[in-house]
Structure 1
Amino acid sequence: MALYPIVILSLFAACAACALSLAVSLRVKKLLDPLIEEGAFKNDRPPTVPIGTEVPGYGKLTDVNGDTVELATGSGDSWILAFLSTTCSGCKAQLPVYREYLKRQGVSPDRLITVVSGAAADLVMYTAEIGEMSRIVHADDSSTIGSDLNVYIWPTYLLVNSERAVEFSTTSISSLPELVTRETKALATP
C-alpha cells in the first residue's frame, strides 16, 4: 500500500508534463501558422529579384584583388551575379555546392561575379573557396548594387542575360540553371 501514493503522484506528473508539452506545441503552431500562410517557409516563394529586372550599369567595380570588374554586357552570353554575406549561415552552407557549380560552368571568372557583404577581414573564406573561379566584389558603402536590386535575402543567385536583364533568380544554388553560352545556343539550334 505504500507504493499507491507514489504511483498516483507519478501519473499526475506524467499527465502534467503531457499537458505542458501540448500547450507548448499549440503555441508554436499558433506562431508559425501565419508565417507558413504568408510563404515565409515555402520553397515556392517569389524570387527576391523579379525576373526581367534590369541590372543597372555600375561602370567599373573593384574586386578583392584590386582588379577592375565590369558587369558582362553585349557578349550574347548569360552570366551569374551572386549575393552572399559573411554573416549568413545559409551562404556558408551552400558555399561548397556553389564552388562545384562554378567548376562545372568552365567559363571565365568575368562571367561569374560574387558580391559579398560583411567585414572585409571575413572575406578570406570566400576568396579561398571560389576566388579563382569568380570575381569577388566586397559590398561596402561605395557599392550599392545589392540595395539597388532590392536584394534582401542572402544568398541570392541571379542568372543575367547579356542585356543585363535578370533571367532567373533563386536563393538556392541547387535550383540555379546552367549558364547559356553562344556555343550551347548553337548546339541547341537544329
Structure 2
Amino acid sequence: MPFLIAAVVVVGLLCTLDLLLTVGVIKRLREHTELLTRMGGGPASIAVGEEVGAFDTSTVDGESLSREVMTAETLVGFFSPTCQPCKEKLPKFVEFARSMPGGRGQVLATVIGAPEEATALTDMLRPVARVVVEGPTGPLSNAFKTKAYPTVLMVSSTGGRLVVKADHVELDQPAPRG
C-alpha cells in the first residue's frame, strides 16, 4: 500500500510540473507573437477588395507594364529563388497559368531577387507569363504590398480600378473559363 501511495504522489507531482511548464510555454508564445506583431508582421500581401497601388515597370522581355494595362482578370504570382515553398509551388503555378483564359497576357509573375539568381525561375515562367525581376522593395512588391513568398493573387479591373479578387488561388484546379 505505501508503494501505491508513493506512486500516486510521484505521478501527481509530475503532472503538476508538466502543467507549470505548459503554462510557461504558452506565456512565452504569447510574448513572441506580440513581438512579431510589433515588428511589422502584418499580412503577407494586399487584401481582397483592396486596390492595387500604382506601378510602372518592365518585363524581362522589355514590355512596359503598369496597372492601367491590366484590364482583364489576371493571375499574379510572387516567387523568390531562395524560397523552398516557392520551388514547390512553381510547377502548379505554371500549369494553372497555361490554362488561364487569355493566355500569357493574363498572367504576371514577379521573381524577387538578383537577375543572376532569378534565371532558373524566369526560364520556367517566361513561356506562360509576363515576368518581372525585382528586389523586395520593387514597384510590384510595393504596389501589391507583398512581404512573403510565394504569394499568388487574382486581380481584375473593376470600374477602372485594379483590385484583388482573391488572395488564395487554388492552383490544383484548372483556371476558370471566362
TM-score interval, normalised by the smaller of the two chains: 0.5 to 0.7
Q: Using the alignment, how far apart are the partners of 1:152 and 1:35 within structure 2?
A: 19
Equivalent residues in 2 for 1:114-153 (5 A)? Answer: 114-140=109-135, 143-153=138-148
1:91 equivalenced with 2:86 (yes/no): yes
Tell me what 2:107 maps to: 112
What is the TM-score when the length of structure 1 is the normalising length? 0.62
Deviations, residues 17-71 of structure 1 (Å, cap 9, x unaligned)? xxxxx9xx979888668889xxxxxxxxx77321111112324x21112232344
1:65 equivalenced with 2:61 (yes/no): yes
Structure 2 vs 1, CA of residues 128 and 145 (structure 1 numbering), >3 Å: closer, same or farther? closer
Q: Using the alignment, how far apart are the partners of 2:51 and 2:113 within structure 1?
A: 25
| Structure 2, unaligned runs of 5 or more | 1-17, 34-42
Equivalent residues in 2 for 1:146-165 (5 A)? Answer: 146-162=141-157, 163-165=161-163
Instruction: Please tell me whether the aligned partners of residues 97 and 103 of structure 2 are also in contact (alpha carbons under 8 angstroms).
Output: no
| 2:45 alignment partner, one of 38, 45, 48 | 48
SS at match of 2:118: helix
Structure 2 vs 1, CA of residues 34 and 168 (structure 1 numbering), >3 Å: closer, same or farther? farther
Query: Displacement, 1:161?
Result: 0.9
Q: Using the alignment, how far apart are the partners of 2:55 and 2:62 within structure 1?
A: 16
Tell me what 2:37 maps to: none
What is the TM-score when the length of structure 2 is the normalising length? 0.66
Instruction: Please tell me whether the aligned partners of residues 79 and 179 of structure 1 are also in contact (alpha carbons under 8 angstroms).
Output: no
Instruction: Please tell me whether the aligned partners of residues 92 and 172 of structure 2 are also in contact (alpha carbons under 8 angstroms).
Output: no
CA RMSD of aligned residues (A): 3.7
Instruction: Please tell me whether the aligned partners of residues 47 and 169 of structure 1 are also in contact (alpha carbons under 8 angstroms).
Output: no
Tell me what 1:79 maps to: 74
Detail structure 1 runs of 4+ shifted over 4 Å in the superposition: 25-36, 175-181
SS at match of 2:166: strand
Q: Using the alignment, how far apart are the partners of 1:135 and 1:64 within structure 2?
A: 8
Structure 2 vs 1, CA of residues 100 and 50 (structure 1 numbering), >3 Å: closer, same or farther? same
Number of aligned positions between the proteins: 151
